[in-house]
Structure 1
């Protein structure tokens, strides 16, 4: 009897120590990307979520790993979550870029490289001019490309600039990446290359010396001649015109203008645009 009483006293004395030990149990720490710290017990970790429970609770809470920067486990081990934020994606060139929500039935005109094939020099001014000309053509024919809406040129160029893309490297960027950057499902991608040659002609006007009689006196008169040189420049263009929808090429044509004038490429762009699958005659 005395032994039983002694054991009961020992148990009663141990209860506070057990409760104290349980209350001081080390917990896992979840450090979020917004610097909030959550203490609890990690139950499960997957590629997309972390499941945990709060102290004194059995209900499991799910947290997206994109919100987590690091977990410090009660065991002393830590795990860092290097997850790309939701508003960015990784391009095929391994660069993080801002991602826009794709707006259905929208079309963007990319900067149009304007390259001298002999020197491989690209003109930034002409690339912008060609882009602007194509953009205006689409706007003028908005009724013919319905239900497509043309993305504002300032928006297009601003988004490309933020992604580090211009007329010099636009050809090196996959269409899938450009679609994510611009947030459109249709893209016009053109390119203009050219070579030049010149032809010179000379024209001479006038006459030589003559002798006339004046009151039985001979008078010598000299006429003057004028030579004019003309130089004509000829431009030999190749206009490449591609159109994409949801990353797939739906139209690809190349045209060489019949005339060899400096602005002949403009007519070729108009010709190719009117024969593209987005154009409907009204």
Structure 2
């Protein structure tokens, strides 16, 4: 009886230790969302007016990040803190007044599509042509679904790009301009902003088969089989996309999502954009 009691105690202690280790291994982390859409999962140790200190999982080294680079922090406790991006000292328009739309007014229930940075994350190189193509694709999706986004009206793409050009803004620095300034420049109260990031990789598949030809020897009249192997190699280029999708109303972010397409084709990012648009708060199913 005493032996059974000891076994029970030992099993209880082991389950307690195992449960404690499991709890420790699933410790929730803080999440830093940077203005360039990078997400850092970490443990934040200190925050000041200018800097933030954090450590990565399983590391004791303290890293320092400038507050101006941060858009939002989602703490492990469940609390979120949003940072005023208009205070960023690196914005291109902070030294001069913001140029507003021609009439100086913001049209209610009007949405503008910003240029969409299309960036190879391996070398951080962007494509101007693809940025315009992606912007045009999203614009056309909104136009085609105009009845689903009523009462919003989509600002003409030429108007959007002309006003941005006059303000010195393009796909290279669009992320550095506060949304509040962009709304004033474009004269709209709604903005949809997206970014396409991608990497590429190649895969090779080989196919082969044997052909058997029968040959009869003149000397011994015996049949011999001569085999030949034929093989084809196909190399395919795969695209691994990440699409970042944000919507703003009166300078307030009302929707933010990230999606990786299911397929790896060159235009798979378009499927992800359609998916995110149809699940945004401005889209109403008919």
Q: Same fold (TM over 0.5)?
A: yes
Aligned mates of 2:201, 2:96 — CA distance in 1: 42
Q: Kindly state the Cα deviation for residue 209 of structure 1 after the two structures are TM-superposed.
A: 6.3
Identify the match of residue 197 of structure 1 among 194, 197, 201. Answer: 201
Unpaired segments of 5 or more residues in structure 2? Answer: 1-90
Give the CA deviation at 1:126. 1.1
- Give 3-state SS (helix, strand or coil) of 2:197's partner: strand
Q: Could you tell me whether the CA contact under 8 Å between 1:199 and 1:231 is conserved in 2? A: yes
The root-mean-square deviation of aligned C-alpha atoms, in Å, is 2.4
Query: CA deviation digits over 1:155-193, x for unaligned, max 9?
Result: 101111111111111111111111111000000000011
In the alignment, structure 1 residue 123 sits paired with structure 2 residue 124: no
CA distance in 2: counterparts of 1:250 and 1:259, whole angstroms: 28
**8 Å CA contact 1:200, 1:232 repeated in 2:** yes
Q: Which residue of 2 aligns with 1:75?
A: none
Could you tell me which residue of structure 1 aligns to residue 144 of structure 2? 140
Residue 222 of structure 1, CA deviation: 6.1
- Which stretch has the larger CA shift, 200-209 or 108-117? 200-209
Where do 1:65-214 residues align within 5 Å? Answer: 93-100=94-101, 101-207=105-211, 210-212=214-216
Moved more, 202-211 or 154-163: 202-211
Q: Bigger radius of gyration, 1 or 2?
A: 1
Asked if structure 1 preserves the Cα contact closer than 8 Å seen for 2:203 and 2:236, the reply is yes
TM-score by length of 1: 0.63
| Residue of structure 2 aligned with 1:238, choices 242, 248, 261 | 242
> Retained in 1: the 8 A contact 2:92–2:176?
no
Gapped runs of 5+ residues in structure 1? Answer: 1-89
- For residue 247 of structure 1, the aligned residue among 246, 251, 254 is 251
Tell me how far 1:207 sits from its aligned partner. Answer: 2.8
Deviations along 1:127-168, one digit per CA (max 9) or x if unpaired, are: 111111100000001001111100000110111111111111
Measure, in 2, the Cα distance between the counterparts of 1:206 and 1:149: 63
Provide the C-alpha distance between the structure 2 equivalents of 1:111 and 1:91, rounded to a whole number of angstroms: 16
How many Å separate the matches in 2 of 1:249 and 1:97?
A: 21
Q: How many residues are treated as equivalent by the alignment? A: 193
Q: How many Å separate the matches in 1 of 2:284 and 2:215?
A: 75
CA offset at residue 195 of structure 1? 1.1
Distance 1:93 1:220 in 2: 85
Match of 2:32 in 1: none
Matched-pair contact (CA < 8 Å) for 2:121–2:197: yes
